[in-house]
Amino acid sequence: MPAEWAPHRGTWLSWPHKEASWPGGFEPIPDIFADIVRHLVPHEEVHINVGDEALEESARGVLRRAGVPLARVFFHRHPTNDAWCRDHGPVFVHREGGGRRKQLILDWGYNAWGNKYPPFDLDDVVPTRIGAELAIPVLAPGLVLEGGSIEVNGAGTLLTTEQCLLNPNRNPGRSREEIEAALRKYLGARNILWLGQGIEGDDTDGHVDDLTRFVDPVTVVTAVEDDPRDANYEPLRDNLRRLRTMTDQDGRPLRVIELPMPPALHREGQRLPASYANFYIANETVLLPGFDTTMDERAGSVLQAQFPTRRVVVIRCTDLVWGLGAIHCVTQQWPALSG
């Protein structure tokens, strides 16, 4: 599996339509998606799953009103239950053989984070539908796994969390060793690194894309909470301690950069999983979730130092994260085959 910073052909999204995912707060969500698309189209194609003509026309209208040029936006009639394309979308991998590189799609099982939000039957088959449309071979590893639960450096090292991948609500009866064997076989992971717990309010059971992200083959940025009274303080410190003992696939110690957490964000008495680690790396740009705090600038500075050839852009996500996810959760990269 290529690293996220490898050249993209495009980015996949699933256009939002499930109002229950943002109870009483759906109205601004399509405009946030339009803002994401607006910042992507100068640099790569954008492919959007829409279930029917009415949803496509609605999406086109939102994008036009936002001033988004549509020449590099492509709509695909793949119905979805929800908008979290990182977790239900295709995971693209590359296979070398016969002197040439081939692209494959992995269709992991998807059960809406442990059967929390049925129905999810439409989301579960999105990768296979996309593979059939694009004539890209599809492999089904036979394990439940969401895209947000894994993070790779493109050179053989994979990060994940015990809270998620070992959770019995995903693959009951499967051992750590069996899960690691599948990660090695299908993702080319020679070196699997396990973090512990996720952040407060995360209904995915500890997705790594709210915690720790590779920014180059040997460097990670990891979310750290400075307030000892905050519920996230100790879990994030534990992950930081683990990372400082870890190495890449060649035995080199990881370079660990601390990324601040935004102040605790609540809505209707619920802690939301706001994290600056939920950024998305695209061609020539990095989209950083913003939460209307003075910490946005600090987080942006940390990331900009790691991506000197890409421009870090803040997308306001206070409304988006009411759905318990942010920018990385709604995007899925389509690597360029030649990259």
Residue-by-residue DSSP string for 231-293? TTHHHHHHHHHHHTT-B-TTSPBPEEEEEEPPPP-EETTEE----TT--EEETTEEEEEE-SS
8 A C-beta contact, residue 171 and residue 115: no
- CA angle at 119 for the pair 115 and 122, rounded to the nearest 5°: 115
Q: Which residue do the tokens 């994401």 mark?
A: 36
8 A C-beta contact, residue 148 and residue 204: yes
Q: Which of 57, 54, 75, 74 is nearest to 65 (CA)?
A: 57
Respond yes or no: is residue 329 known to be catalytic. yes
How many whole angstroms separate alpha carbon 288 and alpha carbon 300?
7
Q: Name the active-site residue from 85, 164, 317, 329.
A: 329
- CA angle at 37 for the pair 312 and 129, rounded to the nearest 5°: 120
How many whole angstroms separate alpha carbon 225 and alpha carbon 235?
9
Catalytic residue list:
329
